[in-house]
Amino acid sequence: MNEIIGEYFVLKKKFLWFFIFSGILVFFDQLTKIIAANTLKGNPPASVIPGILEFRYVENRGAAWGMMQGAGIFFIILTIAVMAGVIFLVTKIPQVKRFRPLMAFAIQLFAGGVGNLIDRIGLHYVRDFIYFKVIDFPVFNVADVCVTCGVSLLVILVIFVYREKDYEMFKKKKIKTE
Phi, psi (5° rounding) for residue 90?
-60, -35
Catalytic residue, from 29, 119, 128, 136: name it.
128
Catalytic residue, from 29, 119, 136, 144: name it.
144
Give the integer Cα–Cα distance in Å for 64 and 138: 8
Q: Residue 141's closest CA among 175, 117, 171? A: 117
Give the integer Cα–Cα distance in Å for 176 and 55: 58
Q: What is the DSSP string of 117-146?
A: HHHHHHHSSEEEEEEEGGGTPPPB-HHHHH
Give yes or no: 119 in active site: no
* 126-132 β-sheet, strand order: 46-49, 53-60, 126-132
**Collapsing DSSP states into helix, strand and coil, what is residue 59?**
strand
Give yes or no: 128 in active site: yes
> Cβ distance 120 to 74 under 8 Å?
no
State the catalytic residues.
Answer: 128, 144
